[in-house]
Structure formats: C-alpha cells, structure tokens
Amino acid sequence: MSRRKKIYEGKAKILYEGPEKGTLVAHFKDDATAFNNEKKGTLEGKGVLNNRISEYLMSHLAKIGIPTHFIKRLNMREQLIRQVEIIPLEVICRNIAAGSICKRLGLEEGAALPRPIVEFCLKNDDLGDPVVSEEHVAAFGWAGPQEMEDMVSMTLRVNDFLSGMFAAVNIRLVDFKLEFGRHYEGDMVRTILADEISPDSCRLWDLRDGKKLDKDRFRRDLGGVVDAYAEVARRLGIMKESPALKIIPNGKSA
Ligand code: UDP
C-alpha cells in the first residue's frame, strides 16, 4: 500500500494514485484541524466513520441524479473516486445561523434564516478561506457562469435531500460545505460533487435537545467527538451499534 504514489495530502485525507487512469484512492485520516490549522488533534476512529458516512450520503445523492466523484468504498478508511480538477471554491449552504455567519452579520446562533443561503469562499488557507461574491468569482475566473449555476442548483438539491434524510433521524442539518470538481471525459467536461460530506463538513444538531453531533465538538472542546460521529452513523443505519464499533487505528481491513 505504501508504494502507491501519493498525489496530495490534506488535513483530513490523503489522495493516492488509483488503479486505473482517471481514478484516485482517498484515505480518510483521524487527524482534525480547526481555526485555519491553529487547533490540531487526532480523533481515533474519525476517518473510518467519515469514510462510511460520506459513502452513504454520496451514494444516495447519486441515486437522485447528483453526479459525484464517489465510485466505491475499498475498505475501512479508503474509497475509490474519480479524479477531478477541484474548483477553488468552498460552497456553503446554511439553513440556521451558526459559525462564521453569526460573527459576520451579528446573528444569534440557532436563528432560522429566511431561506437557505448559499455562500462561496475562496479555498486559500493563507487568507483563511475568505467569503467571496459571484462578482469576484466571475472577474477572477475561478469558475465559469455555467459552473456557478450548476454548483448552486446542485447545492440546493443536496440541501433539500439531506435536510429530509437527517430530519427523518431527528437531526437538523444546520449548514454544510461542498466542493466541486471538473471531470474530464474525452472532450467533455462536467461539474461533479467532490471531497466528502461528513460531520467534519456539516453542522448537525439533535432535533430534540440541540446536542451538537459534528466538528463543533472538537472546535469548542465539548468532548465526545467520535461518539457523536458514531451516533450520526448509527442513526443513518450505517453502523449498527456505535459504541461497539471496532476501530483499527489506521487499519485498512474492511
Ligand atoms: N466548513 C468546512 N470547511 C471549512 C469551512 C467550513 O467544512 O474550511 C463547514 C463547517 O463545518 C460548517 C459550514 O461549512 O458546517 C459553515 O462553516 P462556517 O463558515 O460557519 O465556518 P466555521 O465556523 O466552521 O469556521
């Protein structure tokens, strides 16, 4: 495994060359970072859970016609994905005010937003991923007009679908972040959903008591981070019994 060519190493994932041209293997690590890398930690079992949760959510989105980079899960920590050229934007969708929008616009955490709000941030760690307008995106050519239209419409469909899926298991989808990529097929290029969808990239609150079931537990030192992710997996029916989940640190067996 270690002889595979590493293409990229990010904060929570490593990408290796895939078995066929145009494919990559995404390896989900247990590392966690927050506040633009100022806070770092290792959460044993997080990678296993995010691999499974992201597989589950991406597979369901594919079934409703959202094109994604996900091909199949290979083992506990790895999935086979389509190679794409990542569009350098983070697309954030918010239903409830939380996180950075509260500071930016003086909103109270938990306030319902008038309608789902889609925001774009430039993927640039040195600048702290600043919010940018569609005017900036167009002027600097980070994404084309059709790509912007595709990203917004897919994001709103993902929001409708996942809000319903989570509500059915008593979880509120507060907000989430998506990344998209350009997938080249011969002369054709299309925009597809990439990266991951997991409690690292979503805010998920228990509908009954408001308990946070996402990365805010790490950001705010609330403890029980992996237990909360396992609870999300368990409610979605992915992991049958969360506490007994057998996690092999950095293990690769399925
Ligand atoms: N998010 C993410 N990666 C980032 C920034 C945000 O996955 O680099 C997710 C975050 O987990 C939340 C949503 O996007 O679900 C909105 O995040 P926000 O802008 O409020 O920033 P934060 O408070 O996380 O810094």
What's the pLDDT tens digit per position in 5-42?
A: 999 999 999 999 999 999 999 999 999 999 999 999 99
Q: pTM for the whole thing?
A: 0.94
Distance 125 CA to ligand 1 centre (A): 13
Q: How far apart are CA 55 and CA 196, in angstroms?
A: 8
Query: Looking at ligand 1, which residue's alpha carbon is closest to its atom 13?
Result: 176
d(CA 70, CA 63) in angstroms, rounded, equals 12
What pLDDT is recorded for position 245?
Answer: 52
Query: Tokens in use for 21?
Result: 């041209």
Of ligand 1's listed atoms, the one at least distance from the Cα of 119 is 19
pLDDT computed for residue 242 by the predictor: 47
pLDDT above 50 for 251: no
For the residues 84-98, what does the mean pLDDT come to? 98
At residue 48, what is the residue type?
V
Q: What are the C-alpha distances in Å from 125 to residues 2, 128, 165, 213?
A: 28, 5, 32, 25
Query: Quick one: pLDDT at residue 83?
Result: 98
Residues with CB under 6 A from ligand 1: 90, 92, 99-101, 129, 175-177, 201-203, 215
Q: Residue 196 C-alpha to ligand 1 middle, in angstroms?
A: 13
Find the mean pLDDT for residues 51-70: 98
Name the pLDDT band for 243 (thresholds 50, 70, 90).
Answer: very low
Residue with tokens 């003086």: 106
Mean pLDDT of the chain: 94
Atom of ligand 1 nearest to the CA of 35: 25
- Residue 51 · residue 78 · CB < 8 Å: yes
Name the nearest CA neighbour of 20 among 60, 56, 72, 55. Answer: 72
Parts of the chain belonging to CATH 3.30.470.20: 85-206
Higher-confidence residue: 124 or 243?
A: 124
Percentage of the chain modeled with pLDDT above 70:
93
Q: Please state the atom number of ligand 1 nearest to the C-alpha of residue 101.
A: 20
Give 93 Cα–ligand 1 centroid separation in angstroms: 10
Which residue spans of the chain are classified as CATH 3.30.200.20? 6-84+223-248
Q: How far is the CA of 216 from the centre of ligand 1 (A)?
A: 9
Split at pLDDT 50, 70, 90, the class of 244 is: very low
Residue nearest to atom 11 of ligand 1 (CA): 201
- Best residue among 33, 39, 100 to mutate for probing ligand 1, ranked by most atoms within 8 Å of CB: 100
Pick the CATH number of 85-206 from 3.30.470.20, 3.30.565.10, 3.90.110.10, 3.10.180.10: 3.30.470.20
The CATH number given to 6-84+223-248 is 3.30.200.20
Residue 3 confidence class, pLDDT cut points 50, 70, 90:
confident
What percentage of the chain reaches a pLDDT higher than 90? 92
Ligand 1, residues 39, 92, 107: which to mutate, most atoms within 8 A of Cβ? 92
- pLDDT tens digits along 156-207: 999 999 999 999 999 999 999 999 999 999 999 999 999 999 999 999 999 9
